[in-house]
Structure 1
Amino acid sequence: MDGTLVDTEPYWMATEVELVEEHGGTWTTEDAKHLVGHSLMYSGEYIRERLETSLTAEEVVERLLDGVVERVQHSVPWCPGARELLLALKADGVPCALVTMSYERFVAPILEHLPPETFRVIVTGDQVDQGKPHPEPYLTAAAALGVAPEECIAIEDSGTGATSAAAAGCQVLVVPNHVEVPPGERRTFVDSLVGVTPAVLKTLPDRDLAAGDLP
């Protein structure tokens, strides 16, 4: 979701800065980028370790969610081509799962802007034991869809997410956003989702495409 469907990473980063500075700390761009794609509990622990605070990691997570949910309720910043691709997949009857390390209370206000059942399955960070880059989130989603991971295409914007999806056995379409994503097995790169259609996605499992090779 974050950085792939909606460009909410700036929302997270702004909230992180507010929280850290409130406790007298300093938050860098490198800190913010380090957290992209990781589970919220990982982020909570990371921030807590950098603060002299009595807040627990769980309380840090809730504070982050408060700030980001408030921002999303004012505006949903869709990534270019993302909403169009989702609607096209729904029209073609392609079953989709949302696999995000964000929690359900952040996901809900965004899904309100999509037709019902756009995602047949939703896997959030508070539903799995091990978050990305572990394969559990994508294995969970594929099982809930009733298909093998090898039959799935994951769309990701971070190295953490791409590693999770590839480790589960999915083909991965990588759309880098705020962080660089290194090349790797099962990864195809595009600059954005503009022009990516269900027909384009069907080509991914058949050949190892390089950036710019998509039809």
Structure 2
Amino acid sequence: MPDAVLWDMDGTLVDTEPYWISAETDLVESFGHTWTYEDAMQLVGAGLWDSAETLRSHGVDLSADEIVSQLTGTVMDRITADGVPFRPGALELLTDLRTAGVRVALVTMSVRSMARHVVDRMDDDPFEVLITGDEVSRPKPHPDPYLRAAESLGVDIRRCVAIEDSRTGLASAVAAGTVAVAVPHAVSIPESDDHVVWPTLAGRTAQDIADLFAARRADAGVR
């Protein structure tokens, strides 16, 4: 088994990407401009303050902090009203990992209040560590969020598996040195020697994670 499994949140653990896209579209249109699906896809997995600057360039006349606050509040309101839309197989795999004694952390570019809003609506508090976008100086695709998660857990990042749904998040996980698993959702992710692509987490178990970790370590010539 790996020492830890590090989970992305939006699009990986929970299917909140439609909430974010709706919030972005409403915000841009409130300033009389247009926000397309293609525009929204450019922000999938990106840090919120980077996303805010992109929205400002599309005519949103607010500060980056105001944009982050408004978007986050809108998405949190949707979760409160509609519940947490978990991705297929995510909760089951998370439970199986914990049963197997594998430590888990959440590594998200959402702010801490948003991460807690999701985690507090789970049956228990599964994550030992939360690393959030408002607490790192360099967001994904930089390796910093994943490196900080491993440091907080006191484990070797090279003995961690990361699960991501976006190219930006995947780049962060690979750069940090994790065994990276891509589970594409809003955007496609091609096969690569740098990562493994699983079409879905449905049916995946802790043993699948262990087998993958062992195989990738063997390929790299590491025990």
Report the TM range for the smaller structure's normalisation: over 0.9
Tell me which of 33, 38, 44 is aligned to 2:41. 33
Tell me which of 170, 183, 195 is aligned to 2:191. 183
Amino acid at match of 1:61: V
SS of 2:202's equivalent? coil
Tell me which of 122, 131, 137 is aligned to 2:139. 131
Shift of 1:186: 3.1
Whether the 8 Å contact between 1:166 and 1:185 is mirrored in structure 2 is no
Shift of 1:185: 3.6
| Counterpart-to-counterpart distance in 1, 2:193 and 2:141 | 14
Paired position in structure 1 for 2:206:
198
Whether the 8 Å contact between 1:170 and 1:186 is mirrored in structure 2 is no
Shift of 1:58: 1.1
The yes-or-no answer on 1:73 pairing with 2:86 is no
How does 1:1-215 map onto structure 2 within 5 Å? Answer: 1-51=9-59, 53=61, 55-74=62-81, 75-207=83-215
| Counterpart-to-counterpart distance in 2, 1:183 and 1:131 | 24
Q: Using CA pairs below 8 Å that are at least 6 residues apart, which structure has the higher relative contact order?
A: 2
Structure 2 unmatched ranges of 5 or more: 1-8, 217-223
| Counterpart-to-counterpart distance in 1, 2:120 and 2:80 | 10
Cα deviation code 1:128-168 (max 9, x no counterpart): 00000000000000111111111000000011111100110
Q: CA RMSD in A?
A: 1.2
| Counterpart-to-counterpart distance in 2, 1:83 and 1:206 | 23
| Counterpart-to-counterpart distance in 1, 2:103 and 2:148 | 15
Amino acid at match of 1:67: T
Whether the 8 Å contact between 1:23 and 1:52 is mirrored in structure 2 is yes
Paired position in structure 2 for 1:212:
none
Report % sequence identity. 45
Alignment length (residue pairs) = 207
SS of 1:134's equivalent? coil
Structure 1 unmatched ranges of 5 or more: 209-215
Amino acid at match of 1:62: S
Cα deviation code 1:165-186 (max 9, x no counterpart): 0110000111000001233343
Segments of 4+ moved more than 4 angstroms: none
Shift of 1:107: 1.1
Whether the 8 Å contact between 2:93 and 2:201 is mirrored in structure 1 is yes
Cα deviation code 1:29-58 (max 9, x no counterpart): 1110000000000111100111152x1111
Shift of 1:78: 0.5
TM-score (norm 2): 0.90
Shift of 1:117: 4.0
Moved more, 116-125 or 97-106: 116-125
